[in-house]
Amino acid sequence: QVQLVESGGGLVQPGGSLRLSCAASGNIFSINAMGWYRQAPGKQRELVATITSGGAPNYAASGKGRFTISRDNAKNTVYLQMNSLKPEDTAVYYCKQDIRTWRFEPWREVWGQGTLVTVSS
């Protein structure tokens, strides 16, 4: 029932910017933390950024100073603004939202389908 739909990926030149969006829909009681992760070919998935229910962000060193995570609770959406992109940022980016479908049920990690970001000249 609950699903996340990502958008905003694409091809961009080094130094360029992209804004990723991830919207949740379905049977949602509440959403706690949200986050962005990425996986490059041949590498393990890694954390990019997280944001608490109150809007406090946390960033991995790779994107700190260049990336900004934000959320719109009314739209069940988390964003990732990426500036000064580098070739090493090339990866499939996945969003995650910790969601409860019913009161007093455990938090569940719901993942998006992934959106490809390619940084190349």
Which amino acid, one-letter code, is at 13?
Q
Share of the chain above pLDDT 90, in %: 98
pLDDT at 7: 97
**Mean residue pLDDT across the chain:** 97
List Cα–Cα distances, 86 to 13, 89, 119, in angstroms.
8, 5, 6
Would you say residue 1 has pLDDT above 90? no
Q: What is the DSSP secondary structure assignment for residue 37, as one 8-state letter?
A: E
Which amino acid, one-letter code, is at 97?
Q
